[in-house]
Structure 1
Amino acid sequence: MEEKNSDRIPLINPPPSTATDGTASKLQTIGNIIVSIVGTGVLGLPFAFRIAGWLAGSIGVILAGLATYYCMLLLVQCRDRLASEKELPGTTTYGDLGYRCLGRPGRYLTEFLIFISQCGGSVAYLVFIGQNLASIVKGHGLTIASYIFLLVPIEIALSWIGSLSAFAPFSIFADICNVLAMGFVVKEDIQQAIGGDFLFRDRKAITDNIGGLPFAGGMAVFCFEGFGMTLALEASMKERRTFPKVLAMAFTWITLVYVLFGIFGYMAYGDETKDIITLNLPKNWTAIAVQIGLCLGLVFTFPIMVHPVNEILEGKLKKKLWLQKLHDNDAESSLTRLGKFGICISRAVLVIGLAVLASFVPGFGVFASLVGSTVCALISFVLPASFHLTLLGSSLSFWQKALDFCILLCGLLLAAYGTYNTIVGV
């Protein structure tokens, strides 16, 4: 690199040090960003707006979107700095950045938080499916936990499928069902407004319970999931220089949709808004079809969510002496039948453990806010700001350092205060 880092404006003019070996176009990258970020959390936003108020909720979503966008660019800039110094050649992972900035504890901390966040997202999937199935099928004496455990054999069998590409159509199907569910909520809003059941003055702009703000903030952060895909998304582009603009375009539309959907959902149902907005939909065949579609999509995308967890666990297991003996000819990829059986057992145990955790979760909204307030805030805000200050602190201006410190502090406060309010109840 001939250009010094101090001569550039960080984040606006990214360094040209990375190779352009990606294949994704701008439009494809926008699609990948949307698929990576938008998930079931969006269906909990109206409940968050009910807790915080429509104005406070809107501001919270906008701030969460801006902070997540900025921190994603910080992460890319940190990777580019290491690539320019040839300290970590090739594709750098989030864990590699943690190791470079904080040593081995940094790698362990980063991978542990990613592990917990993936487990949290997997548990949220199970809770979401359980609550929706319980609302659809009533009068059979089955609890939400019962429906969750009925899914266990299916999810264990799916977790044994080796190719994740087989689940790609179901992931797209789940996203389509999300869009349909959002469309249904908006339709119900309009119908209630026309029918005269809607009174704007009954909808609070800002809650009088200050504890509701961190709760809603945690939910907003949870909705911008997919932070761990940042480096992979940027590396997949043909023109990697355009990633900040493409990311900004995608985040603008996602944030706008989040705000409007949260407002519409809360305006439609007011204090009756449930933690999953689909539970407010009328029990007609169309609404039930949307709920069933959402559940089916998540059943088949659950293995994608737990795949990184399996990789981490199996990577640790392969280092154990007893498991190394289960390979043929010392080849890591050629497991014996006993070795393959052990991997299947470990995946089954993971699914059962996640189902047990999900059976104790009181509700989707509470759990999503807890995950967003803790691991998501740490992964999305605290770690990127810390890495940026560590790697580029000497070349940053006062205001850039101040902004990083502000994000770092806010992330820690959200993790602490939001967790407290989630546990004691809003």
Structure 2
Amino acid sequence: MEACNEENLETQHSDEQQSLEGTTFIRTCFNGINAMSGVGILSVPYALSEVGWSGLILLLLMTIVCWYTGLLLSNCMIAHPFIRTYPDIGKLAFGYKGKVIVAFFLYLELYLVAIEFLILEGDNLNKLFPNISFKVGNLKIKGKQGFTMLAALVFLPTTWLNSLELLAYISAGGVLASIILVLCVLWVGAVDDVGFHERGQFLKWSGMPTTLSLYAFCYNGHAVFPTLFTSMRDNRQFSKVLVISFLLCTFNYASMAILGYLMYGDTVESQVTLNLPIKKVSSKIAIYTTLINPFTKYAFMIYPIAMAIEGRFQYYKSKFISILIRTLLVISTVGVALSIPFFGYLISLTGAFLCVTATMLIPCICYLKISKRYCNFGLQWLVIISILVAGSLVAILGTYVSLREIVHHM
């Protein structure tokens, strides 16, 4: 009896300490929105053009599915409070192998996103300064490739930091950047004589795998959901955080998709900023805003991968080895970015192969295993199985289409 009382007192003390030290509800909402507000917003007009106006229905469906799988993750964490990270959920469900598999998908996804940041910088800087080339000795480097390498040099020192608290504070501007982008595109269409004249089509079946893959990329915040959950003062409100975050992000994505498709129709680029008239002030603001975002987030993509490598080989105590590992990681991302400079197709591949897996498949599989409801046939079981079937189809078809397009354009 005394042991139970002591345990209850410890639990109560832990809860009180969390309520004093944890993140507020509003702050967690902001962090949730920031987790899903990134470079994907540039590609939603292209995603809509691939499938037609019916893509707005697909966007809504993807929102509901990803919101629901986010709830499944939170349910796993409520049942087992010791879970702190996404790989911990995989470990609880399937042991050490499950943790390794989940970590593999997460780290590979972060690596590809870092590559996409470099491609994004190269494309948009080349848009701003189209006639610039670089010369290193006797080697002449074209503008786009040169800008990609130049961006990597600027990113490199940020990856050497052991503490990313300052970058975390700066990266909060990602939410504001997404709003500014939508407003700039609206200004270009309404004021700068581009107009909203494109009618578009309602449905194009051939583009559905690409569109769903891009949408999955946009909503890929599940990797940080466990962190947001554990950081809250009152994590019982996490379900409300998910609702607010998904609603606001969906409104922003849908606005950008509609504006871009009405302005440029089927000619919209994989990054809508590449369509904007470069001489207009609003266009330059949009492009510069696009360029700032990767500067604040690139290090976050590399940091978890570097920490995993350093921890694995026990080199984390050596500053020199740490810098060397991170420098080699940056160099490797530059090499891939120069070899596969296709922003839209690479995002589609990341969305299909990795984001669909992380946002749709893994949460459902782990929840069924942890809750032991894989034998309980009911409405929830039917919903989860439907998500698994649909997600598997999107992953297979989207990956195939993306790889085919990348090979075709190389």
Fold shared by both chains (TM-score > 0.5):
yes
Which 4+ residue blocks in structure 1 deviate beyond 6 angstroms? none
Which amino acid in structure 1 is aligned with residue 402 of structure 2?
T
Q: Does the 8 Å contact 2:180/2:289 carry over to 1?
A: no
Aligned match of 1:5: none
Q: Does the 8 Å contact 2:360/2:391 carry over to 1?
A: yes
Q: Does the 8 Å contact 1:41/1:223 carry over to 2?
A: yes
Aligned match of 1:347: 326
Deviation track 1:202-261 (CA, whole Å, cap 9, x = no partner) reads 311211xx2310101010010112211111112222222121123112211211221122
Deviation at 1:121, TM superposition (A): 1.2
With over 3 angstroms needed to count, the CA separation of the structure-2 counterparts of 1:397 and 1:410, relative to structure 1, is same
CA distance in 1, matches of 2:169, 2:91: 35
Of 76, 87, 99, 1:78 maps to 76
Deviation at 1:174, TM superposition (A): 4.1
Of 121, 136, 153, 1:129 maps to 121
CA distance in 2, matches of 1:113, 1:137: 36
Aligned match of 1:416: 396
Secondary structure at the counterpart of residue 372 of structure 2: helix
Aligned match of 2:159: 159
With over 3 angstroms needed to count, the CA separation of the structure-2 counterparts of 1:185 and 1:197, relative to structure 1, is closer
Secondary structure at the counterpart of residue 172 of structure 2: helix
Q: Using the TM superposition, name which of 308-317 and 291-300 deviates more.
A: 291-300
Of 286, 305, 320, 1:290 maps to 286
Superposed counterparts of 1:21-420, under 5 Å: 21-22=18-19, 23-55=22-54, 57-83=55-81, 90-141=82-133, 142-191=142-191, 198-199=196-197, 202-207=199-204, 210-283=205-278, 284-318=280-314, 323=315, 335=317, 339-394=318-373, 396=376, 398-420=378-400
Deviation track 1:96-139 (CA, whole Å, cap 9, x = no partner) reads 22122112221110000011111111111111111101111111
Secondary structure at the counterpart of residue 400 of structure 1: helix
Aligned match of 2:7: none
Secondary structure at the counterpart of residue 355 of structure 1: helix
Q: Using the TM superposition, name which of 407-416 and 90-99 deviates more.
A: 90-99
Which amino acid in structure 2 is aligned with residue 36 of structure 1?
A
Gaps of 5+ in 1: 1-15, 84-89, 324-332
Which amino acid in structure 2 is aligned with residue 370 of structure 1?
L
CA distance in 2, matches of 1:49, 1:186: 17
Deviation at 1:52, TM superposition (A): 1.0
CA distance in 1, matches of 2:310, 2:360: 28
Deviation track 1:34-79 (CA, whole Å, cap 9, x = no partner) reads 1111111111100111111122x21121111111111111011112
CA distance in 1, matches of 2:333, 2:156: 11
Aligned match of 1:425: 405
Which amino acid in structure 2 is aligned with residue 187 of structure 1?
W
Q: Using the TM superposition, name which of 132-141 and 377-386 deviates more.
A: 132-141
Q: Does the 8 Å contact 2:42/2:272 carry over to 1?
A: yes
Deviation at 1:314, TM superposition (A): 1.2
Q: Using the TM superposition, name which of 68-77 and 92-101 deviates more.
A: 92-101
Q: Does the 8 Å contact 1:35/1:175 carry over to 2?
A: yes
Secondary structure at the counterpart of residue 425 of structure 1: helix
Q: Using the TM superposition, name which of 348-357 and 300-309 deviates more.
A: 300-309
CA distance in 2, matches of 1:171, 1:245: 23
CA distance in 1, matches of 2:24, 2:234: 8
Aligned match of 2:6: none
Give TM-score scaled by structure 1 length. Answer: 0.84
Which amino acid in structure 2 is aligned with residue 98 of structure 1?
G
Gaps of 5+ in 2: 1-11, 134-141
Q: Does the 8 Å contact 2:52/2:201 carry over to 1?
A: yes
Which amino acid in structure 2 is aligned with residue 205 of structure 1?
F
Secondary structure at the counterpart of residue 211 of structure 1: helix
CA distance in 2, matches of 1:214, 1:347: 34
Q: Does the 8 Å contact 2:356/2:394 carry over to 1?
A: yes
Q: Using the TM superposition, name which of 163-172 and 299-308 deviates more.
A: 163-172
Deviation track 1:366-396 (CA, whole Å, cap 9, x = no partner) reads 1111101111110111111001111113485
Give TM-score scaled by structure 2 length. Answer: 0.87
Q: Does the 8 Å contact 2:110/2:301 carry over to 1?
A: yes
Deviation at 1:145, TM superposition (A): 2.3
Secondary structure at the counterpart of residue 275 of structure 1: coil
